Amino acid sequence: MESLKSKSIYYALSVLVATIAAFESMRLLFILIFLVLFLIYKRLHFIHILGVIIACFVFFYYISDELKKLEVPLTLPQTLTWTHEYKFNGNKLRGFMEDQDGRNVYVVYTFPTENEMKKFKQISLAGQQFLVFGLLEEPNRPAHQYAFNMKKYLKSKGAIGIVEIANWSYVGTKESIAQKINVQRFKLKTHIEQTFPQSLVGEAQALLIGLQEHVDDEMTRAYQKLGITHLFAISGLHIAIVSFIFFQGLIRLKIRRELATLILLVILPIYGILAGGAPSVWRAVTVVELILLSRVKWRLSVDDALSISFILFVLLEPWSIYQIGFQLSYLATASLIYSGKILHQFSSWVVQSFFITFVCQLLVYPLLLFHFYEISISSFIVNIFFVPLFSFIILPINIILLVVSFIPGVLQKLLFTLYEPSRELLTHLINLLQSIPYQMWNPGKPSLILILIAYLSIFIVFYRFENYSKLYKTVAILCIPLVLIHVSGKLFNEMKISFVNVGQGDCIVVELPWQEEVYMIDTGGLLRFEQENWKLNDRPFEVGRQIVVPYLKGKGITKIDKLIITHADADHVEGAEEVLQEIKVEEIHITPNSYKKDIMSDLLKEAQKQKVAIKEQIASNLWRVRDISFSYLWPLETNYEGNNDSLVLLITRGDFQGLFTGDLEKEGEENILQNYPHLQGIHLLKAGHHGSKTSSSEKFVEQLVPNLTIFSAGENNRYGHPHEEVVERFQRLNLHSLTTGVVGTIEVSIKNNGMAVSYPK
């Protein structure tokens, strides 16, 4: 084993190359050449170089074979077995089941009755088997390139598809050690909900058993802004503290160290399952287990233990390399292990704490930007105080509270009475800190080339730190990719107009050259219908937060200069409140008197809270930015009656004309033609009212003769938009049109020599 000391990392890297190549393309095996050249440069023994090459090809063919098993079609009906990964949301149950070959299947079941839903909520489903009838469905296409991608999520879980369950019948329970532990986890979850004060349930479940379903959404966003979300995920430090408490407890009970170590070896995997089995949990558990085992005969370094745990993880679940938690967990741990020499240069614990946070953030920041498009700047300072606070105070307190909660009497009430107010005080402090502006750096999603440049600079910085190089040169090397990433999304000289696929609704983003100014026309939204309370989602889908905001952040848009709400309909304005909460808005334009409608109340409250000016607009109002002009053509009067009072905006740049009509209908279109008889030869038209048959009248279309018309309408929407009659009209006139619900988000670039259109293929 000594011969492998500090060399396992090279085998782990070869396994990583093999796994990526098996998933993506065999051609990526050429990366192995660069690894081998590096090993030759490092003068590694020939046996190890050969071993690294063999490991790469063995894993490549093994994983390729495993992936072929996922391609075998699922036949239904079939008996499927529940895993521990499932969630209830309103009248739906979603999660992962295993088929008879052990493959993961994502399932969706809609409860027909409230009683059946309550019955299922009261039991642990892990291990329960059902004969399932249903259809295997293809995952929906993401709304845009920055939105949640169900297909990629299934890939990261090794799942073969989505089954919409039509009917099922209980078969039995597949018993195993893991299943029994998961039953206990469910009982523990229920016990916490029944005994802990409501305000402490989410924290206790997250810290003790890895469940975050009761963590408040607003608090989650606060933790994200401060960069302390990881404190609510069970991590290596968490496992280390639990192991230390348990081990010391055994020693205090006069149990010999050897026996205590053996007990710990058995207990840790059990706790890994009990804590939810996230990648960070198993990474920590396997590393601790390997180091404890190595003490029996041979000493294993931490970096070797980390590398071996990585190889074991990939061997068992190769698709886990696509899980964000897996990537961040191993990268952050590796950064601490391989920067030990740098950290030991400082004696002060404050400075060391800062550099621990700095080193972790430095190694993961390109990955965070790739997945989330933003990172918290304040995390470098905040984590110095919050990591020890959560690790050494809040976590032990929750362990004590859990133990005491099983003891009836006055003690648990006393401890909860003492702890709850102090925890609420900490929550107020967190909310106060997160409200400080400019904490997030949001440059947008970097390209793979920029990510490679960022990591190259990071490795150079680590090398220079270890060799005590001059600080200003090191900082300059670090800043070069930061600057490149920050400006890369703004280096364009054309005007970009994006029609975001928000389903049945409108949302248009206008970016001026170099992203000098950004305007948004409508924000999308949902028309919500009355439902029985038990059918309502616990966390309702929000178009603004889950589709529009990720699009803006993915493009590095941190400010909207003008938010234009064409009229007061839910599918145009409901998402505005969430946009204001996440993105700075300079001013809001609305059609006259539309603010009186109830649907506008949330927007008005949020705008007032953030002191954003709301300006009523009317025909003839205009502004100009360089060679681009913007003018409102409609409405002419201040009496708001509905769709035909939508704000109509004309954008011109050189010969280009783009007309955006909100939900304008035939009557409004006729008024436009009457008041602007010379309006024709339109290059880009946003069709009124999603392509309803009451809009896009023949006379209107024949006079405008648009080169391209966009229908903002949801896929298979209940209204049948765009209407067949309207589509046939455009076809008959040989006019090109696209629908967001059919092709996805559409981006139109206005260049000097014409108009370029792009959308997902």
C-beta neighbour count of 258 within 10 angstroms: 10
Which residue matches tokens 């523990």? 188
DSSP line for 433-485: HHTSSS-EE---PPPHHHHHHHHHHHHHHHHHHHTT--HHHHHHHHHHHHHHH
pLDDT in tens, 477-516: 999 999 999 999 999 999 999 999 999 999 999 999 999 9
The pLDDT of residue 347: 67
C-beta neighbour count of 186 within 10 angstroms: 18
pLDDT above 60 for 273? yes
C-beta neighbour count of 575 within 10 angstroms: 28
What φ, ψ does residue 629 adopt, rounded to 5°?
A: -115, 150
pLDDT above 60 for 3? no
Strand, coil or helix: 644: helix
Average pLDDT over residues 572-586: 95
Cα angle value 203/209/212 (rounded, 5°): 50
Q: Are residues 191 and 282 in the same domain?
A: yes
d(CA 648, CA 632): 6
d(CA 89, CA 306): 37
Q: Are residues 296 and 402 in the same domain?
A: yes
The pLDDT of residue 348: 67
Q: Are residues 360 and 508 in the same domain?
A: no
Average pLDDT over residues 407-426: 91
pLDDT above 80 for 471? no
From 131, 151, 175, give the residue that closes a domain: 175
Residue 208 in tokens: 């003790």
Confidence of residue 276 (pLDDT cuts 50, 70, 90): confident
What's the number of domains the chain is made of? 5
Range of the structural domain that residue 289 is part of: 184-445
Q: Give the residue among 424, 399, 403, 425 at the shortest CA–CA distance from 412.
A: 403
CB half-sphere exposure, 8, CA atoms < 13 A:
19
From 126, 150, 175, give the residue that closes a domain: 175
pLDDT above 80 for 353? no
Q: Are residues 467 and 500 in the same domain?
A: no
**Torsion angle of C-alpha atoms 130, 133, 138, 139, degrees rounded to 10:** -50
The pLDDT of residue 254: 84
pLDDT in tens, 725-757: 999 999 999 999 999 999 999 999 998 778 999
CB 644 within 8 A of CB 665: yes
The pLDDT of residue 469: 67
Percent of the chain whose predicted confidence (pLDDT) is above 90: 68
pLDDT in tens, 125-170: 999 999 999 999 989 899 999 999 999 999 999 999 999 999 999 9
Q: Are residues 514 and 416 in the same domain?
A: no
Buried b (16+ CB within 10 A) or exposed e, 218-250: ebeebbbbbbbbbbbbbbbbbbebbbeebbeeb
Q: Are strands 613-616 and 587-590 parallel, antiparallel or unpaired?
A: parallel
The pLDDT of residue 4: 43
Percent of the chain whose predicted confidence (pLDDT) is above 70: 97
Confidence of residue 1 (pLDDT cuts 50, 70, 90): very low
Whichever domain contains 619, its CATH number is 3.60.15.10
d(CA 650, CA 427): 47
The pLDDT of residue 234: 75
pLDDT above 80 for 603? yes
Higher pLDDT among residues 201 and 245, named by residue: 201
From 116, 140, 175, give the residue that closes a domain: 175
Sequence-ordered list of residues with C-beta below 8 angstroms from that of 40, at least 6 positions apart, any chain: 49
Which residue matches tokens 């992936």? 67
pLDDT in tens, 168-212: 999 999 999 999 999 999 999 999 999 999 999 999 999 999 888
Q: Are residues 154 and 294 in the same domain?
A: no
d(CA 542, CA 583): 15
Lowest mean pLDDT, pick from 71-85, 342-356, 367-381, 469-483? 342-356
The pLDDT of residue 465: 76
Average pLDDT over residues 667-687: 94
Q: What rounded mean pLDDT belongs to the chain?
A: 91
For the chain, the straight-line distance linking the first and the last C-alpha, in angstroms and rounded, comes to: 52
> Diameter of the chain by CA atoms?
95
Q: Are residues 479 and 516 in the same domain?
A: no
Whichever domain contains 144, its CATH number is 2.40.50.140
Q: Are residues 188 and 158 in the same domain?
A: no
The pLDDT of residue 670: 94
Residue 423 exposed, middle or buried by CB count within 10 Å (0-12, 13-18, 19+): middle
Average pLDDT over residues 69-78: 92
Q: Are residues 409 and 281 in the same domain?
A: yes
Average pLDDT over residues 622-629: 94
Q: Are residues 483 and 373 in the same domain?
A: no
pLDDT above 90 for 119? yes
Specify whether the backbone of 58 is left (phi greater than 0), alpha (psi in -120 to 50) or beta: alpha
Q: Are residues 194 and 168 in the same domain?
A: no
Q: Are residues 688 and 672 in the same domain?
A: yes
Specify whether the backbone of 692 is left (phi greater than 0), alpha (psi in -120 to 50) or beta: beta
Average pLDDT over residues 42-66: 93
